[in-house]
Chain A
């Protein structure tokens, strides 16, 4: 009995990978059953889809008639710890998705902030390469304008 108990300790190294695999498997089964454990779930609007890095969902929203310029709510934990109100273009710049910026601009998207200033504020290198250098904006103002939106 004592010996068996000590032998069981040799099973300890198996536990961490087992736990990870079972947790991920449970997550996969949960998803197949229609829930979304550990994840944010489906995006609710164009801006949120982009903020989640899901440009394909954003494209589907747009193709089915959603506005490419409206300010929308991005839930907490996606772009920031709290909720954020942003346009699709602003979300694309904050996530540094140059391709998505192109996609939105090609469909007539506009944003109330200067995207070049916002790209500089968030260090969006890919977007900066595409939209060009900013001129005459104070550091942090563009990002603050988005984050402090009521």
Chain B
């Protein structure tokens, strides 16, 4: 076995360990009441064809394949909802980590040494946490993040083949009809080819572009599917959350300042972990002189990551300007383009999870920048360079631990929802009218309360360190 191969295998073995541990924690969750039980009730009666067809008459969203996937898994599960839906969530996380590693392409000892940092950024980010804490009951944001990283990996390969072109086209269509953010897959492919990548042919990019144009035309002019209105949901703004009626009162008829705020907030949340969900928590805590440990570490670790990426771009600015880029530079450029595009399509409202594709790219871009930073450090600056990356690594490791802590808490919260599910149904004005609906509720309730008991909870001592939701 060559040395190169050893480090690659070691890196993938570490990725597998992280995925296994995360998978163990993910299996502590159950199919949740909010966002999942209602969706499962909705797919019970209609046929797959009718369900997909109905999605073409929605006003704000066009997600036929998402509902198709839920229906398909619901039918395949044959009552084993926990096994199927939780199993899919675990598989998604494994795929995300695998494709992230493929994009990092670790070959040397230094690469392998930075892989734990890269994966910690991926799994410790506040844009990643909601991808594992929630499912609807299939987490479509995870699907899109996997699609985007896969697109980057595929297009950054040495040459295009007809079957990789066809695969990429299929993935793009699948993603865009699953979730609006699927457009990012197209952005990544076009940007990568524009930056000189050769893993996707130009005819394939043209075909994807035609599909995108067709999607937009059909969406806007045939189906008249718009974007979510201000009245759709509460959103973070400034130092608090504005309810839909407050958003309407403040921005109705002149929504563009709110949309601009959302775009800027979305970019900033990936680069600096501030604001979160549109709320400037760190600034607020700073003005009250009571900065929480979790907030401080989040902001510091993200800011150092951003600084390293900034250093990387600055030191190679001539190459970026002339667009004669190597693979690492293309990855960083892709991160910046995906970040901007992700933020722009998130204009209607800002949520951490929406920026998850850009958050995943941040992991790979920081990995690349950190490697370049360490390689560029000559004595006597070497110790300082290593110290910076090690401190960064400490911050992200802390956040990675926080993701696991919060998964445990979520496991308990989800079951609390099931204990009081009848009250929830009443508040949502959902009446269970069929025997199937009653059976579904009873089965999911049994899964949550009896079949899969709540995993042990961490002592409250840890809450002082990892409490994210306050």
Chain A positions near chain B (C-beta within 8 angstroms): 6-7, 9-21, 24-25, 28, 31, 36, 38-42, 52-60, 77-79, 97-100, 102-103
Contacts and interface: CB of A to CB of B under 8 A. Distances in A.
Nearest to B120: A17
20 contacts: A10-B374, A13-B113, A13-B386, A13-B392, A14-B117, A16-B398, A19-B397, A21-B14, A21-B21, A21-B116, A24-B404, A25-B20, A25-B21, A38-B458, A41-B456, A54-B415, A55-B416, A56-B419, A97-B416, A99-B419
B456 A53 contact: no
Contact of A55 (B382, B419, B458, B459): B419
A69 to B, nearest CB: 17
A91 to B, nearest CB: 12
Contact of A10 (B109, B415, B424): B109
Interface in B417-455: 417-420, 423-424, 448-450, 453-455
Interface in B302-341: none
A105 B455 CA distance: 26
Contact of B401 (A20, A78, A99): A20
A39 to B, nearest CB: 4
Given A14-B393, A15-B393, A99-B416, A56 B453 contact: yes
Q: Is the interface of B mostly helix, strand, loop or mixed?
A: helix
Nearest to A35: B456
Contacts of B116: 13-14, 16-18, 21
Interface string B352-381: 000000000000000000100010000000
Contacts of A99: 416-417, 419-420, 423-424
A12 B384 CA distance: 12
B457 interface: yes
B459 A100 contact: no
Nearest to B118: A17
Interface residues on B, range: 35 or more
B416 A12 contact: no
B454 A56 contact: yes
Given A15-B393, A19-B397, A56 B113 contact: no
A57 B418 CA distance: 12
Contacts of B456: 31, 36, 39-42
Contact of A100 (B374, B394, B420, B450): B420
B129 to A, nearest CB: 15
A6 B113 CA distance: 14
B400 interface: yes
Contacts of B455: 31, 39
Given A13-B386, A21-B17, A57 B454 contact: yes
B460 interface: yes
Given A17-B396, A99-B419, A55 B412 contact: yes
Contacts of B383: 9
Given A28-B24, A99-B420, A99-B423, A17 B393 contact: yes
Contacts of A14: 112-117, 393
B283 interface: no
A53 B412 contact: yes
Contact of A59 (B17, B449, B457): B449
A19 B396 CA distance: 12
Most central of A17, A78, A79, A97 by chain B CB within 10 Å: A17
Contacts of B295: none
A31 B418 CA distance: 24
Given A10-B113, A12-B386, A13-B370, 7 more contacts: A9-B382, A9-B386, A13-B386, A53-B457, A54-B415, A56-B453, A97-B416
B389 interface: yes
B113 A21 contact: no
Interface string B114-138: 1111011000000000000000000
Interface string B93-115: 00000000000000001101111
A97 B110 CA distance: 48
A85 B459 CA distance: 18
